[in-house]
Amino acid sequence: MMKDVSPSARKMNRKSHRDKPVSARQGAKSSTRPDARKGSRDGARGPRKPTADRGAARVSEATPAAVSVRMVTVDEDQAGQRLDNFLRVVLKGVPKTHVYRIIRKGEVRVNKGRAKAETKLAAGDVVRVPPVRVSEAKAPVVPGMQVAQQIESAILYEDDALLVLNKPSGLAVHGGSGVSLGVIEALRQLRPDCRFLELVHRIDRDTSGCLLIAKKRSLLRHLHAQIREHHMLKVYNALVDGRWPARKELVDAPLQKNILQSGERMVTVHPEGKRSKTRFRVMERYQDATLVEASLETGRTHQIRVHTQHTGHPILGDVKYGYEQTRELAEKVGLDRLFLHARKVGVNLPDGSYREFEAPLPAELVKVLDGMAR
């Protein structure tokens, strides 16, 4: 426990320390000191490093994320965030554990008072952000010319709050799990002046089509509320194996995520899974396959892919769900990707208007359908 010492006592203590001869102050470092101080009989551990040295070692390979205290005022677009999430944006590159530590120690203040990590911020709040140091971050992966051109040419709509992409198949929406660069990371580098860019929702890497990206936090919160209430329209096109039953308009089957021993994530129909509903409508019939429209009533991972497999009509080109059943036909029609396309998204905007965004079917999928129609 630390003891309170008056300023005058500390001053006297420093004076007496300075008045001592050098030999007396270095008594602890004398060569005649027993080896027991090293912490082991054979002295393998060695003497402890002074506190100052340990601190110097900790910052020697670091760069300052902030060199002085900052007072950050929360604007309307940032309002409603938790304090910890706000700091993770303000202190980019700082480990999450360190963010929670400075909150817990009271180094972060909101309107001059201590606050908890879960504190919700309001517009006009003033957040005291202490100086922190972080390890030198690796240089970000720069999107190649091809990826940059793909993304720029895929923009369907953009205003000051929303960006809509016709995401190409094969491009992940975000990095992770072996993917160094996704759509959102590439966009942030292509648009360095955009203060805020976040995914509104996600679609699978192999799926193409409509992807919404918020450029304002207020819009992100507004659209996330619609997703939670299942009020966002999401319509897909899928080419499924065989003849889809005309009366099969609704698949209501609970889905559960599973992790295989290999680490691969799979989703299965399971009675203890989450409620999952997909509506289907036949759009075109071919000799060996059916083009269907799938509308999501819930938004579970791999929902359409698992529901079509569950009915016995997996999506062509799906290497995860029903590939053995569809491989021969996919090769026959020249399909080398998943035939699943997010064609339409409909949302209610903050101004009360309703907007639908539609992504045309990619050329490679149109070519497959043309070939099957002959």
Per-residue pLDDT tens over the stretch 86-140: 898 888 778 888 999 999 999 999 999 999 999 999 988 999 999 886 554 455 5
The 10s digit of each residue's pLDDT in 176-211 is: 656 667 898 889 888 888 888 999 999 999 999 999
Q: Tell me if 211 sits within 8 A of 165, measured CB to CB.
A: yes
Domains along the chain? Answer: 65-134 (3.10.290.10), 145-373 (3.30.2350.10)
The residue written with tokens 């902030």 in the block is 66
Q: Tell me if 292 sits within 8 A of 283, measured CB to CB.
A: yes
How high is the pLDDT of residue 10? 47
Q: Which long-range contacts (CB under 8 A, 24 or more apart) does 175-183 make?
A: 175/141, 179/205, 180/141, 181/141, 181/143, 181/147, 183/151, 183/211, 183/213
pLDDT of residue 292 exceeding 60, the answer is yes
- Of 53-57, 96-100, 249-253, the one with minimum mean pLDDT is 53-57
Under the banding of pLDDT at 50, 70 and 90, the label for residue 79 is confident
The 10s digit of each residue's pLDDT in 204-218 is: 999 999 999 999 989
pLDDT of residue 316 exceeding 80, the answer is yes
How high is the pLDDT of residue 67? 57
- Which has the higher per-residue pLDDT, 301 or 29? 301
Q: Tell me if 331 sits within 8 A of 288, measured CB to CB.
A: no
CA separation for the pair 204, 303 (Å, rounded): 11
CA separation for the pair 121, 110 (Å, rounded): 8
Q: Active-site positions?
A: 204
Give the pTM. 0.69
How high is the pLDDT of residue 30? 40
Provide DSSP, 47-69. PPPPHHHHHHHHHHTEEES-SS-
How high is the pLDDT of residue 284? 97
SS3 9: helix
Helix axes 145-153, 183-190, angle to 10 degrees: 90
- Which has the higher per-residue pLDDT, 92 or 321? 321
Under the banding of pLDDT at 50, 70 and 90, the label for residue 331 is very high
Alpha helices (runs of H) in the chain, residue ranges in sequence order: 7-19, 22-25, 51-60, 83-90, 96-104, 145-153, 183-190, 217-228, 303-310, 323-332, 363-373
CA separation for the pair 297, 156 (Å, rounded): 24
